[in-house]
Structure 1
């Protein structure tokens, strides 16, 4: 059985994509779900589990899933492959290799594109693992995504993802500031976004401002803007020794200070 743990805004559509493709798939989430394929009973999920997509929020929830509360290392005897899809510190992800039994293949497979891409089966995956492991995984990933970037050995996909999200955070902070200033100057928002789309300021948030579900959100610890703040922290955790981290920290602080945009 293929399992998806963490069936929220990203994991839910990923599970649906697998089910629609005919895969033998089930979801697990600690919260009740409206999806009939999702259970909150770990013992209804773990015993038949062979391949796991972990899409939980953070390192705490990953530890709970794999080692502590749900303890899949002890409750899933048939587990042979884990995709780490959450955005986490690359240092933490690499450290999982020493904690997960060697017979279980680990692939870091964080994705990009927001919920709209998960729903459209057009996610971009950044992958870390051996070439053989990645080649074997691609047909399964193709049910959920369209773009697959093998970045190197295990852990390289997560390193690429946190750097990508560091740019996404800077785009989010600056695009929102630009829109605020534009409104103050009396510019039409749609006209400005159309201009940005074809000009040097083009970026993902501006291009998808009407479709990205969190584009107008303010910061809250449990929403997507809060996750973006967490992702910058993951990038900072893996910063090179002696790196100048002033700009990433300022971006993080600016995103944390965002108010809902109307």
Structure 2
């Protein structure tokens, strides 16, 4: 059995509603954790991780935005160490979580962590557990997993739930991992979320996430068009949304993230489309799904049309940097 999977200690059950195993490499029975990428999602995820690991454990953090790491170290209680580089994180931490924006970032970060191939010759001889929560293409994820062999195990664990879910610790993680790593990964991820779904071997988590976000991108456009249609026919927006949400058109963009201002007070549309799931990220995930589908020889019909719409929304000065529900504004919806 790999040293990665050996249960070296157990926490009291009161620490969490489940029993959690961690690593320990010193006589003091303490473990070290790493987190790379303190963006809008990563920052609250790392905060939740720090709050649930034992006080004596160390969380080693890194981000290219030094203001974010400084702020984190100042406001988060517990042992927090700001690493000078991602390699520094890999050398000091046994379990390393990454949350990065693009495939290129994942490639460069893991290359820097894994080279030279001497991690196991340092002060921590255990294989690392790398958990990548980024939403990237499965091909890049496979390449990184292969590169990690010999120094650690790599799994893909993209998440759903948005910034609000990350802050509340209610994310859902979709993981691609061999069966022997599922329990260990689940214990780690439940410190930052509420649900972990194992979809298969490495890469399966990303395939599931991209299928979901493909559907989300299409539903978002369809909801914006349907709401715009009904309002211009003279229907009351709130009554229309209520009818849809108790009928067969019900979906997350209609019920939770309705694109019409004032219909759902907590939705980004009701605060100028600020916050939420950025239109650029929605477009990125849609394009990743289309790319992965093409590589697998899968025929899609609606995706290319949706991609063209999101490209136009991104190019619209009145929509740039907004939540993806701003497609309603782009379509001329009444605000």
Gaps in structure 1 of 5+ consecutive residues: none
Q: Report matched runs for 1:220-259 at 5 Å.
A: 224-239=278-293, 241-258=296-313, 259=319
Q: After the TM superposition, which of the residue ranges 225-234 and 31-40 deviates more from structure 2?
A: 31-40
Rg larger in structure: 2
**Given that residues 93 and 155 in structure 1 are in contact (C-alpha distance below 8 angstroms), is that contact kept between their aligned partners in structure 2?**
yes
Task: Tell me the SS of whatever aligns to 1:47.
Answer: helix
* Distance of 1:157 and 1:200 partners within structure 2: 28
* Distance of 1:197 and 1:26 partners within structure 2: 44
How big is each residue's C-alpha offset from its partner over 1:185-210, in whole Å with a ceiling of 9 and x where there is no partner?
A: 34333333332222211111222224
* Distance of 1:15 and 1:110 partners within structure 2: 15
Matched residue, 2:21:
none
Q: Report matched runs for 1:1-262 at 5 Å.
A: 1-23=32-54, 24-31=58-65, 32-33=67-68, 34-36=71-73, 39=82, 41-42=84-85, 45-67=89-111, 71-74=112-115, 77=119, 78=124, 80-209=128-257, 210=264, 211=266, 213=268, 217=273, 224-239=278-293, 241-258=296-313, 259=319, 260=326, 261=329, 262=335
**Given that residues 145 and 153 in structure 2 are in contact (C-alpha distance below 8 angstroms), is that contact kept between their aligned partners in structure 1?**
no
Matched residue, 2:12:
none
**Given that residues 107 and 144 in structure 2 are in contact (C-alpha distance below 8 angstroms), is that contact kept between their aligned partners in structure 1?**
no
**Given that residues 124 and 147 in structure 1 are in contact (C-alpha distance below 8 angstroms), is that contact kept between their aligned partners in structure 2?**
yes
**Pairwise CA distance, 1:238:** 1.5
**Given that residues 53 and 83 in structure 1 are in contact (C-alpha distance below 8 angstroms), is that contact kept between their aligned partners in structure 2?**
yes
- Higher relative contact order (Cα pairs below 8 Å, separated by 6+ residues): 1
How big is each residue's C-alpha offset from its partner over 1:102-131, in whole Å with a ceiling of 9 and x where there is no partner?
A: 331111101111111111111111111111
**Given that residues 58 and 88 in structure 1 are in contact (C-alpha distance below 8 angstroms), is that contact kept between their aligned partners in structure 2?**
yes
Give the TM-score normalised by the residue count of structure 1: 0.86
The RMSD of aligned alpha carbons is: 2.6
* Distance of 1:26 and 1:103 partners within structure 2: 19
Give the TM-score normalised by the residue count of structure 2: 0.69
**Given that residues 114 and 212 in structure 1 are in contact (C-alpha distance below 8 angstroms), is that contact kept between their aligned partners in structure 2?**
no
**Given that residues 35 and 61 in structure 2 are in contact (C-alpha distance below 8 angstroms), is that contact kept between their aligned partners in structure 1?**
yes
**Pairwise CA distance, 1:39:** 4.3
* Distance of 2:268 and 2:44 partners within structure 1: 14
**Given that residues 128 and 151 in structure 1 are in contact (C-alpha distance below 8 angstroms), is that contact kept between their aligned partners in structure 2?**
yes
* Distance of 1:39 and 1:178 partners within structure 2: 48
**Given that residues 122 and 145 in structure 1 are in contact (C-alpha distance below 8 angstroms), is that contact kept between their aligned partners in structure 2?**
yes
Q: After the TM superposition, which of the residue ranges 37-46 and 150-159 deviates more from structure 2?
A: 37-46
Would the alpha carbon gap of residues 212 and 158 (structure 1) be closer, same or farther in structure 2, given more than 3 Å must change?
Answer: farther
**Given that residues 115 and 212 in structure 1 are in contact (C-alpha distance below 8 angstroms), is that contact kept between their aligned partners in structure 2?**
no
* Distance of 1:162 and 1:254 partners within structure 2: 18
Task: Tell me the SS of whatever aligns to 2:34.
Answer: strand
